[in-house]
Structure 1
Amino acid sequence: MTTPTFVFVHGSNSNSFSWGPLQRELALLGHRTLAVDLPGHGFAAAYPRAYQAPQDLAALASAPSAFAGLTQADAVQHVVDVVRRAAGHGPVLLVGHSRGGFTLTGVANAVPDLLHRVVYISAWCCVAADAAEYGRSPENATSVLGATTGVLVGDPGALGVLRMNWRTADPALLDALKLATLDDGTDAEFLAFLATLEPDEGLDAGTDRVDPVAWAGLAHTYVRLAGDRSVPPALQDRFIREADALLPGNPFDVRTLDSSHVGFLVRPAAAAELLADLASG
């Protein structure tokens, strides 16, 4: 097999920068990688002046967003374009984390012939329901994200986005955010991670569900994060179970990492070894 390329898709309020440590480890193992910034993310993200210190929360609640007019379909098309270019150089392993799973599913449905494998890392993989239904399901009942809603600023309906103030100094809210994201990390690691996040995230998660025709011959791996408090293992297992029922002849290859929601990004050695093994298969 010619040299494969890992293409990484970030999660909510994140960007390509979050993959840097994992890309470093994979490069040291001899692998080629690239990380995308979905539309409205990375250097295209909006950081209103009101977000700077000292913050003006009233102004932040109404400042325009770079997400105006952007949809989940735009995210899917952006990654399809990246995959198409990367596939010209060899096999593509498309890897997504958390909310990035919505984009992974759309891309896999659209261009399965361009993908060597898709890899969900504790990522949303809608099969028998939409995101809202999964969010209300018993499998998601133990998610601690409900305790973090204090990070929201402004009216999502008026702004057209979910806007978060990651620069909060509220100690109780910071404790809740650490539990949700990096419960297995130090306080210093958590604050460093928080500093990488962007204020705005789109409201549109799309409607893509696993297409059994497109996925009939597509290799797919689900990497469970056993310590995830945001996307609970029970919900991860439901995604796997429902996809396997839809594709009985082509089930998920399931792996497990002992990690919180973002711990594998902060300490990426084990994840890099796992992904390197997938590239050789």
Structure 2
Amino acid sequence: MPTTSTLVFVHGFWHGSWCWSEVIPHVVAAGRSAVAVDMAGHGLHTRRPRWLTGRPYDPGAVSTEVSPVADVSLDDAAELLTAQVKRIGGGEPVVVVAHSAAGPVLTRVAQQTPELVTHAAYLSAYMPASDEPAVAYTRIPESADDQVAPLLRGDPAETGALRLDLATDDADYRQRLREAFYGDVDAVRADAATGLLTPDGPVGIMLGTTTLTHDGWGSVRRTYLTCARDMAIRPALQAKFIAEADAAFPDNPTSVVPLDASHSPFLSMPTALAEVVINLGGRP
């Protein structure tokens, strides 16, 4: 098939469709249709916790308040993305580019409706094996030195969320947040992006599992875009995802595209990223 399938971009936790705004113009200029969508519990689908805007600042509430998106599950996220893909593609298959924690959502959609996804692209994203929750990969040695885990506040089992403290005036915390996500992004743009983050990623998305089959997810062409300087999803973990997928489905190996980037190449190298995704969805 020609490289005309629409590209659908899905952001990761705490971000929104806004994070693709520097990539999409390059994609469209090259003649590809492209749309960015908000994931369940994010963007226009989010609900902000009270502590975020409450004054005076209450660090206790940051750690204990139950998230207003605590009820969002992997099922919910996949249902929303499926509806978005159907609407955008008009019934025709699309290329889905998923970043970070959007990976498990793409995996579920590609497993349940492989006819809707002509190519699944994982941009430094969680790509869990069959029946494995994405959260399990945060507890293994390949994730031991990620810089996001130390930034999380509260117990996800109680709050229902992986929570960032976006209300704090702790300069060190905010600097570490920028380094975790935007290590190679210029300071002005990194500050702007930090200001657009939402505090809660629904932990239910990370807890859900998907049983993978050869005629489901295993039948969909996939590409993994690795990020060599990623401090959120470390290169060793990215390599583990690829190895597990190829071991499970050796007849459909993962294409790998290396990027010398941090966790957010859509901001640090949008032109180069666009050049890669433009070529997804064509003939093998």
TM-score (norm. length: structure 2): 0.88
Are the structure 2 counterparts of residues 139 and 159 from structure 1 closer, same or farther at C-alpha, using a change threshold of 3 Å?
closer
Give the superposition deviation at 1:255: 0.5
1:3–1:90 contact (8 Å) kept in structure 2 = no
- Map Cα deviations across residues 143-171 of structure 1 (whole Å, 9 max, x no partner): 2223323xx2x554443323322243212
Two-structure CA RMSD over aligned residues (Å): 2.3
Map residues 183-262 of structure 1 onto 2, 5 A cutoff. 183-204=183-204, 205=206, 206-262=208-264
What SS does structure 2 have at the residue aligned with 1:195?
Answer: helix
Are the structure 2 counterparts of residues 107 and 55 from structure 1 closer, same or farther at C-alpha, using a change threshold of 3 Å?
farther
Are the structure 2 counterparts of residues 124 and 155 from structure 1 closer, same or farther at C-alpha, using a change threshold of 3 Å?
closer
* Map of 1:165 onto structure 2: 165
**Within 1, Cα distance between the matches of 2:274 and 2:175?**
28
Map residues 1-281 of structure 1 onto 2, 5 A cutoff. 1=2, 3-48=4-49, 50-52=51-53, 56-57=57-58, 58=60, 65-88=67-90, 90-127=92-129, 129-149=132-152, 152=153, 154-204=154-204, 205=206, 206-281=208-283
**Within 2, Cα distance between the matches of 1:230 and 1:59?**
25
1:222–1:240 contact (8 Å) kept in structure 2 = yes
Q: Which has the higher contact order (CA 8 A, sep 6+)?
A: 2
1:226–1:260 contact (8 Å) kept in structure 2 = yes
**Within 2, Cα distance between the matches of 1:168 and 1:240?**
37
Give the superposition deviation at 1:262: 1.0
**Within 2, Cα distance between the matches of 1:185 and 1:80?**
32
| The 10-residue stretch of structure 1 (221-230 or 129-138) with the greater mean CA deviation from structure 2 | 129-138
User: Percent identity of the aligned residues?
Assistant: 34
Which consecutive unaligned segments of at least 5 residues does structure 2 have? Answer: none
Q: Which amino acid aligns with 1:78?
A: L
What SS does structure 1 have at the residue aligned with 2:197?
Answer: coil
Are the structure 2 counterparts of residues 11 and 209 from structure 1 closer, same or farther at C-alpha, using a change threshold of 3 Å?
farther
| The 10-residue stretch of structure 1 (134-143 or 217-226) with the greater mean CA deviation from structure 2 | 134-143
**Within 1, Cα distance between the matches of 2:214 and 2:141?**
25
- Map Cα deviations across residues 208-267 of structure 1 (whole Å, 9 max, x no partner): 254333134311100001110110111101100110011111100110111100133343
TM-score (norm. length: structure 1): 0.89
Give the superposition deviation at 1:29: 1.7
Are the structure 2 counterparts of residues 248 and 270 from structure 1 closer, same or farther at C-alpha, using a change threshold of 3 Å?
same
Q: Which amino acid aligns with 1:207?
A: T
Give the superposition deviation at 1:89: 6.1
**Within 1, Cα distance between the matches of 2:186 and 2:99?**
21
1:7–1:36 contact (8 Å) kept in structure 2 = yes
**Within 2, Cα distance between the matches of 1:111 and 1:252?**
19
**Within 2, Cα distance between the matches of 1:68 and 1:130?**
17
**Within 2, Cα distance between the matches of 1:140 and 1:269?**
29
Q: Which amino acid aligns with 1:88?
A: G
2:17–2:37 contact (8 Å) kept in structure 1 = yes
What SS does structure 1 have at the residue aligned with 2:22?
Answer: helix
Aligned residues: 278
- Map Cα deviations across residues 180-202 of structure 1 (whole Å, 9 max, x no partner): 11111232222111111112211
What SS does structure 2 have at the residue aligned with 1:99?
Answer: helix
2:151–2:173 contact (8 Å) kept in structure 1 = yes
Give the superposition deviation at 1:269: 0.4
Give the superposition deviation at 1:22: 1.3
| The 10-residue stretch of structure 1 (196-205 or 123-132) with the greater mean CA deviation from structure 2 | 123-132
Q: Which amino acid aligns with 2:141?
A: P
